[in-house]
Amino acid sequence: MGYSTVLFDLDGTLLNTLEDLRDAVNHVLSASGFPPRSLEEVRQFVGNGLGNLMRRSLPAPCGEAELERHTAALRSWYAEHSQVKTHPYDGILPLLDRLHAAGCRVGVVSNKVDGAVKDLCRHYFGNRVAVAVGERQGMRRKPAPDTVLLALGELGAGKEGAVYVGDSEVDVATARSAGLPCLSVTWGFRTREELLRAGAAVLVDTPEELWAALVQ
């Protein structure tokens, strides 16, 4: 096994959460009389937590109090509707099974709220993912290394033999800040060109290619 520890991003890497995120955003926007956002717009807005998603989705800048009110509504709605259209990308469950069978430590690090990350991983992956870490109070979110280092600690792993897998420029920066190599997947929320501009060094187009990159 090339890597003994694999940390994954969640949205756009393991799970296609885009439609549920779009529906949650549009629910909040509609309640305030704002026009809806398209799937493609939400795809571009995702990447730094629900607060930033809400800020980018609003039609005009607003004060912090108003932004927090909208973000709280988004968190509440999404917590109840995060498993409606969401699904693992094709080939992800077999990939996780192969990693589990190979004795690889597997964790998820996301900018979603910690409870939502744990719930989604438990629901879709069961025991295939040993540790799931999300946004927590008092910890910096990605691309800061805090949650990555926390996940490594909970897995009982060090940086040696570890790799970070993600689909966005945030993930490239996260791996860099944590001192880990990064594998960037092209089936998620960013295009190949966007990933290359962000400094992605290794791109993979399918879970089968990802498996090959992990075991080489």
Strand order in the sheet with 5-8: 131-135, 105-113, 5-8, 162-166, 182-185, 203-204
Q: How far apart are CA 187 and CA 181, in angstroms?
A: 19
β-bridge partners, 182: 164
Report the first-to-last Cα separation within the chain, whole angstroms.
7
Active site residue 97: no
Distances in whole angstroms, Cα of residue 86 to Cα of each of 44, 154, 163: 18, 27, 25
Residue 93 phi, psi (nearest 5): -65, -45
From the number of C-beta atoms within 10 Å of its C-beta (0-12, 13-18, 19+), residue 176 rates as middle
- Kindly name the residue from 9, 11, 20, 171 that is annotated as catalytic: 9
Distances in whole angstroms, Cα of residue 130 to Cα of each of 5, 55, 103, 168: 11, 32, 11, 23
Residue numbers annotated as active site:
9
